[in-house]
Structure 1
């Protein structure tokens, strides 16, 4: 460490007026946050945590991407209240060598890079501390386009567990050996490719967290949504009763709850048959 002399060589004598003195640098805000690398999971936006609250642990090269949209609206409020928790585990500090390398070229050649098994394994070990070994109670998931499609049923299964660990991929993917060794489940957000798993992780966590009791104001609303059964949700309307010449269907303003329920069921069936024949076929098979 270099010491600064008590009296710099070019210091202005006491009482003299400095010539062309540079302006004093602006003072930093006391509200500015400092982020540093850590091998410990980051517990985001949860000053208090309800005992037994559901927890999401995210292994990622970009922990600063979280909580993202999860810190907003009802999920953000529930996060701040401690109804669920979000821990990020930065993959970089587990890397190899001076530069903390986390990836290497694909065996057998090819484009891109692959996340190393040894690096990912160290992060998974860290993420597993304090979590149940039973995967039914705590799924461990790699977000991969080759995985099973994420669905409302997947969200319900995760919400019923104690928590979930999500491994966000980057580059060309993850060394298959660590996926096999840790028995990692692979899940896909859809039939498309993204640059990484962070956005997919936020979407999946959002779908899961909203199923946790207490997160939504009216938990019964989750039972009437699209994909809660085999039908899409019926159309929704609100005030004003007439907008640009378009009226709310009169039955919805009738006060006859039996007729309203019948209309909603009919509309849900119509939309499902038109837009999702796969779901409609499942619906018909379930009625048989």
Structure 2
């Protein structure tokens, strides 16, 4: 996968993109990325990328020209249209399903805004997706883009040491993940459930599924509304 990030602050991405799983994923050739300061594409002699909004009001609005020009430059070498993601608090709320959808793409372009907002023509004519990571406002789209990129990259083949880990994560199955334990078996009087030490894989799998259902019911019952429960699972939840 190829990822291009349009931002006025490229330096913000270095720590995230060059550490931990993100760094390993690049070493494993799961993806490549580049940050692009779209200020470099402005035709304004003062390198302005924003201006006052028509009609008045507070704040500054990002002008369309620098962003359109930057995207056009990226697309010149592409035979297949990329997916262009606008990070925006007005966008679709980001979910694991959206991450799985984006992980199937060959090329993603992220647009990270600052200031009051974007010229509406950017939304209408340029982007394919508008994404929000939650009902709150950040100073810019960079942090949101990092969150989305991280969740997408970890789903790519060879990004994780064990790809099964991504398939079993919370939300990937439609439920919250079951509890995890490791050594020692007893810590400060607290014991690891005996079933996990039994070596009986079928019983362990059943216990984990029940715990996943229980945790989802307690913490995120809304997720069960669309989850295809079996008759056995319904009875277990009722109990």
Instruction: Name the structure 2 match of 1:161.
Output: 105
Instruction: Name the structure 2 match of 1:59.
Output: 6
- CA drift at 1:70: 2.2
Deviations 1:19-76 (A, max 9, x none): xxxxxxxxxxxxxxxxxxxxxxxxxxxxxxxxxxx11100000111223212111220
The runs of 5 or more residues in structure 2 that have no matched partner are 235-239
What RMSD, in angstroms, separates the aligned Cα atoms of the two structures? 1.8
Is 1:119 aligned with 2:33? Answer: no
| Secondary structure of 2:227's aligned partner | helix
Instruction: Name the structure 2 match of 1:233.
Output: 177
- CA drift at 1:144: 0.4
Is 1:174 aligned with 2:121? Answer: no
Q: With the length of structure 1 as denominator, give the TM-score of the two structures.
A: 0.76
1:264-279 equivalent positions in 2, closer than 5 A: 264-279=208-223
- CA drift at 1:224: 1.1
Instruction: Name the structure 1 match of 2:40.
Output: 93
Equivalent residues of 1:96, 1:102 under 8 A apart: no
Distance (Å, rounded) in 1 between the aligned partners of 2:127 and 2:6: 16
Is 1:209 aligned with 2:153? Answer: yes
Equivalent residues of 2:86, 2:127 under 8 A apart: no
- CA 1:148/1:200 → structure 2, altered by over 3 Å: closer, same or farther? same
Equivalent residues of 1:144, 1:186 under 8 A apart: yes
Distance (Å, rounded) in 1 between the aligned partners of 2:4 and 2:230: 36
- CA drift at 1:286: 8.5
How many aligned positions are there?
232
Is 1:80 aligned with 2:27? Answer: yes
1:24-63 equivalent positions in 2, closer than 5 A: 54-63=1-10
Higher relative contact order (CA 8 A, sep 6+): 2
Equivalent residues of 2:28, 2:158 under 8 A apart: no
| Secondary structure of 2:71's aligned partner | helix
- CA drift at 1:179: 1.7
123-132 vs 86-95, greater mean Cα deviation: 123-132
Question: Of 88, 93, 118, which residue of structure 2 is paired with 1:149?
Answer: 93
Distance (Å, rounded) in 2 between the aligned partners of 1:278 and 1:126: 44
The runs of 5 or more residues in structure 1 that have no matched partner are 1-53
| Secondary structure of 1:66's aligned partner | helix
| Runs of 4+ deviating beyond 6 Å | 285-288
Question: Which structure's CA Rg is the greater one?
Answer: 1
Deviations 1:244-275 (A, max 9, x none): 11111111111111111111011100111111
